[in-house]
Structure 1
Amino acid sequence: MKDFYNHDLNLVLYRNDGNAIPKSILFNSFARILKKDGLPQLSIHSLCHTHAVLLLESSAHMKYIHKRLGHGSMGITAEVYSRISKQRKTP
């Protein structure tokens, strides 16, 4: 899709024409999917947290997770996810 992608934002989801999907469409679509499947309402950002937790559970290094999530600093990632990392190590 490189030829069609029109942004330097490194987006995961975008329209067929390469432009960004408006946030309202993403949020509303995600809410409809959750409702249709009888799941509790969650923010679309919760997918990011789920991804990070799955990476931690697979023993990914915090630096890799930091880069993958695109946080501004390693400190942000460590602060948010170190608690989860510690819980993983506790029997």
Structure 2
Amino acid sequence: MPAHERRAFPREFLRINLRWEDGSTAYTRDVSPEGMYVWVDAGAFIADWVAVELTDPRSGLRFRAYAEVMRIEPGLTRTGVAMRLHWRRFLRRH
């Protein structure tokens, strides 16, 4: 029997590079309106709450979010981080 899905929105598999708070490289594995799963460099600092920023240089659109870390999955070269978004804003670069 499949596990009960608790997400209100489906996740979309999408790879977007982003800036992690400590300067580590990171990218999304999947995103939804309520959360995202991110791969960060192994050894990156991961707090209980994190601020992330995604930028599209072609359009100048930026997405900033403040997220609660729900789960951390350590790996050899990358660490997976499941996050729930609590504050998010789209901003246009001037």
Q: TM-score range by the shorter chain?
A: under 0.3
TM-score normalised according to structure 2 size: 0.23
**Structure with the greater relative contact order (CA < 8 A, sep ≥ 6): 1 or 2?**
2
Larger-Rg structure = 1
Name the structure with the higher strand share: 2
Name the structure with the higher helix share: 1
